[in-house]
Amino acid sequence: MLTLDLSDFMLELKEGAIMHVGAKTTAATVKLYHVTEASARAFGDDQVKFAFADDEGNEVEVALDAEAAESLLAEGERLREESEVFE
């Protein structure tokens, strides 16, 4: 399941073209639940791309710099050691 929350976001559909016509203060939140596939790979010279997909065909990709990726991996290891999630 994918949820998408767009704040102050306006699109114009004109002659088959989609164009953003709202304010530049737009923001979005995307959440993907029930992930069935996940992968990580190098992305460029200094980033790691994490890709996630569910059974409904929804996909989310996130590219993190190396420091943020290391922090995320360390947090995963901490959860493995301290949380009941992995039991």
pLDDT digits (tens, 9 = 90+) for 47-84: 999 999 999 999 999 999 999 999 999 999 999 999 99
Burial class (CB in 10 A: 0-12, 13-18, 19+), 51: middle
Q: Given this model, what pLDDT does residue 76 score? A: 95
The closest alpha carbon to 57, from 26, 25, 86, 32, belongs to 32
- What domain range is 20 assigned to? 1-33
Given a cut of 80, whether residue 23 has pLDDT beyond it is no
Q: Count of domains in the chain?
A: 2
Q: Given this model, what pLDDT does residue 46 score? A: 95
Same domain, 3 and 13: yes
Same domain, 76 and 48: yes
Same domain, 4 and 43: no
Same domain, 76 and 46: yes
Given a cut of 90, whether residue 10 has pLDDT beyond it is no
Cβ-proximal residues to 63 (8 Å cutoff; 6+ apart), any chain: 43, 44, 47, 48, 49, 50
Given a cut of 90, whether residue 5 has pLDDT beyond it is no
